[in-house]
Amino acid sequence: MEPDPDLSAARAVRRATQRLSRRLQLQRAAEGLSLTKISMLGHLARRGPLTAGALAAADRLQPQSVTRVLADLETDGYITRLQNPADKRQRVFSISDPGRAALAADMRVRDEWLAGVMHDEVSADERDVLLRAAAILSRLADLD
């Protein structure tokens, strides 16, 4: 039986993106926010105000875990708690300006590392391919 070319391609993309993701995580500042906190801030920055349940679902976490993380982020001033306009009994969380700054600082360190290695190790044609691939990967990541 011949190998499925789609499955082989999927395996190669998965392996490469996982390896790059791990490498980017290693570039994070040791004193920075946890990956869970950065993820929560990222969801709020991209999607706007969300409930704790929506944030838990976005990262496939238990609501109790998210509640603790959100409390820490709120105490540190990175998010604000607002009344949900659609349901007055529920609260939504929104990223604050200090939260956006913390998220940007975390991303900047990794972006600078990646820009440096891309400059040193990747040709201009390869960078163009990477940009096209990034758009495709983003589109795939946004699928339900």
Q: Domain map of the chain by residue range?
A: 19-141
Contact 61, 76 (CB under 8 A): no
- Find the length of the chain: 144
Indicate the pTM of the whole model. Answer: 0.81
Q: What is the residue whose two structure tokens read 């838990």?
A: 56
In this predicted structure, what is the pLDDT of residue 87? 78
Tell me which fold the domain 19-141 belongs to: Arc Repressor Mutant, subunit A (1.10.10)
List, for residues 78-123, the tens digit of each pLDDT value: 999 998 777 778 889 999 999 999 999 999 999 999 999 999 999 9
Q: How far apart are CA 24 and CA 57, in angstroms?
A: 24
Contact 100, 108 (CB under 8 A): no
Contact 74, 80 (CB under 8 A): yes
At residue 90, the 3 state secondary structure works out as coil
- Burial category of 85 from C-beta neighbours within 10 Å (exposed 0-12, middle 13-18, buried 19 and up): exposed
- Name residue 133's amino acid: A
